[in-house]
A and B are shown apart, each in its own frame.
Chain A
Amino acid sequence: MKTTLHLTMAAFVGVLALGFSTLATTPAASADGKELYREYCKGCHEEGSPNGEYTPMSLIQDQWTRFFDKKYTRTHKSVIDEKHGGKPVTETISPEDLELIREFSIEGAADSEHPMTCG
């Protein structure tokens, strides 16, 4: 029992350390992610769009994860992106850029925590 506890503690410390190191790198990534989201997603998902309005705040983190893991290819592989050369959305966005968009969406999801401010 004791050993398990210690192992878990060690793992916990490990996660903390890793957690901090990924945290430290995200701000730069999310800045790019924001730009990329605006470039590749926003045009089709603005307020009032027939495709549905989507900003990171439209979905919770679990829903974004499910979207990128399971739904993105299916729902966007035959949607043509006229703004970027008339290819399907899935062929327009590189895997690296998509990863940054994914991080940005999850980070700003509807259930991410932020303090409230006036105005």
Chain B
Amino acid sequence: MQLPDHFEFMCPVKTGSGSQALSHLPSDLAALDARKPLILTEKKNSEKGLVKHLVQAFKTWNITLGVYDGIDDGTNLETVKELYNLYLDRGFDSLIVLGNGNVMNTAKILNIAVSGKPEDLKRVKEGGTITEPLKPMVYIPVISGTGTETSGDACLDGLCVSSTFLMPDIVTIDPKVLLDEDPEKVVNTGLAALTYGVEAYMADDANPVTLTYAQLAVDFVVNNLEVLVRESLVARGKVKAAIREFQAKKERTALVNAACMAGYVYASTGRGLASSLGAHVADASGFPKGIAMGLLLPYAMDVSARIKGRDLSSLMRPMAGIEMFCCTPEAQRFDYAVNRVRLLQNELFSLTGGRVPRTLEDMRITRKTLAGIAEKTSQENGACDSALCLTILEHAYDGKPVVS
């Protein structure tokens, strides 16, 4: 690949993933000089016993843990204020996030407040930037997520902030806390991760450093999502279910790795065509963002490769593996990659009985709203002029590939 004349990448996160990952947490926190962490999570996570696993990892460490499990969809800046007081009153010095989307958003916003002066939150609200590293923050993902938890983005109660200082210090992926989940949520996580990963290949400053994480996100989604969804829908007896669970843990770990890595990549490259459009399509249709982004992805790939002339052939490698990639003539590689994404979506459609849409028509949005979405997106994202955006949307409406 030809390197761009100038490129930058940073991922300040330490990732630990796999068996006994939680047991590394106390010593990792100690290395950051954190001695009294506050755990933030949702009720359902403590009910499912996930908090217990986390507490278990701190045995023998003589550390008092704070647990707040009241975060839900209604969590707002008022909650943050209460948590702020709690954090300071009880002398906490770090945050552990066990959960996804909203829990992480709450933690990021809370961390701005507790790291500096409480006015910082107000200052950031008025458009100020974060200029100093924040207090240590650990992110322990569960199976479902948005793919931006590990990025620098935070949005809560209308307050949206973005800063690399908001990225967690440590990400701990432990299969113990990756339980079976509603397939639609799993798909949403996977497709969001896939989209951010592929968009790094389409970015103007695509470079081998960013693509290290991006290729893994693509690889882990494409090679795990489908089987994970398919197998979770099969009814099994106790013994067979236990055997399957062993394998499922591995697949979930891979998928969550993809989601975390996608967040790292997204933090550097930002939104591309599919994710920009996807956000608005999600708003218009009521479908989750990841699913909307993923639906648009193959059409954005078409436009990038066939209209803008980007060489995306190397995307085939993480999808198909070295063996297949090498024996496929270069001119066929992009076709393979884009068809692989389409195939994945069609399979997911069939597996979920149509709950995961393949086309915008499946999403039941009307054709006449497309122009408005294209217009709105192109105003936000300069890389996508409204004609191009509309091309993507119209083709995605019919499920028709874009050809040059």
Do A and B actually bind? Answer: no
**Which A residues form the contact surface with B (CB < 8 A)?**
none
**Which B residues form the contact surface with A (CB < 8 A)?**
none
